[in-house]
Structure 1
């Protein structure tokens, strides 16, 4: 089979000390969307502690355990890094899946990407940003938990990990504004591609939905158009233009004209008349005119 037709070959390396065994099924379902998990290894002390829970799921997913007795804090981490570098220099893999919430793997992820090989990170919400951004894409394992949580604590953690859909609006707007568009419309698929590049940890499931299109429908900031041959397009909703309020009776805009008695509302037409009308002096009385005439005659 040619390299163009086969699925990307992946090396899956799991830090058992930092990841719950409950995500195993969801983890490999997600990895299957990326490519083929050719190598599956897990590192930890499976004789006790958190790592022990993985023993029951290893056969189901054909994961090879790398037992590391707890002689030191980073014993498992060091073994994982050595294997990763060995796999990298063999040049047989198209990508690595690093399953951990530990920032110690930040430099490893960066080094692998320097070789032009993709890194997909899997970890908890608490994973430091340095590790998340070192990966091409980062998936939160809280979203990979079983559909029916085992207990109320899992339910609480799952709900806590979700974000309000409106939190995603700023970054989506930023991407749309930078893209070439037709009347503001851009393909939704292209927006998704840019999101993956700009924010490696962006995941619609963090907002309680499965797909980006579902997220777009949840918020009131975008318009959706599916009339272009089945290709979904979106654009930012135009902001409403706020102008002077019209007078309900005449339709003319209302303004204020000052006079001695205070501001008086007038319509636009009334304002024009008020401006163009010449000032009028009060007419002089008959007696006043007669006195002026007599004074002129006396002079």
Structure 2
């Protein structure tokens, strides 16, 4: 990153990450919003080309992601942890994990495509699109019929097929919904609604041979450390629409044994965050999860 960028007026969505702050400002923050981590150095020519574009996009996207700058000369520990071999290197961190990245100074158009591929869009555009997402109909079966007719009239309109998959999930037709989601084009495969629908399918599949909630509650009463029962009970709650009860079961799993079945408690919470549309509730439970993980 060029010196003039570092001394320019601060962008509220851009910050310099250090070894001391990395856990809180990057990993923990990525539980709430995506974080791009840009590894750079003052002697690096391509870094001077890439850095200003990334900062411009961070401001333009208005909080849809944050940009963490890591000076590899000043912060060799972070660079070593990420196994940086050349710069500039950029990683996308989400839910505490690296999900994608690239090396070299990409042009602005390719950077926008990279962000779009991961469902990251300018905050203003997302706000404008929100009203178009109508509330679920009172009768999901009627909505399925309406969408089937609409698809017959416009068979090449992929958005209608995504709408149909979502409606089918409301009726319990998970198999057909899954087939429709699998056939979606790449531009819709990372749509927030698609991600949420896939997470719902994952939860539904866990209940195929699961005991009913009453049996699971009895098992937990007899043995509070029965984390398999807690997991299935939490899934039952999520599928039934009682998100808070589901979150509480997954949090209790995390309190009792965060490493259970390869970090299943954390994975269950993250999957549930993708399903639940109540942003305030999700934010509250993300913070609770973060607090437990940092203990």
Question: How would you bin the TM-score normalised by the shorter chain?
Answer: under 0.3
* Structure having the larger proportion of residues in strand: 1
Q: TM-score, normalised by structure 1?
A: 0.27
Q: TM-score, normalised by structure 2?
A: 0.27
Q: Which of these two proteins has the greater Rg computed from alpha carbons?
A: 1
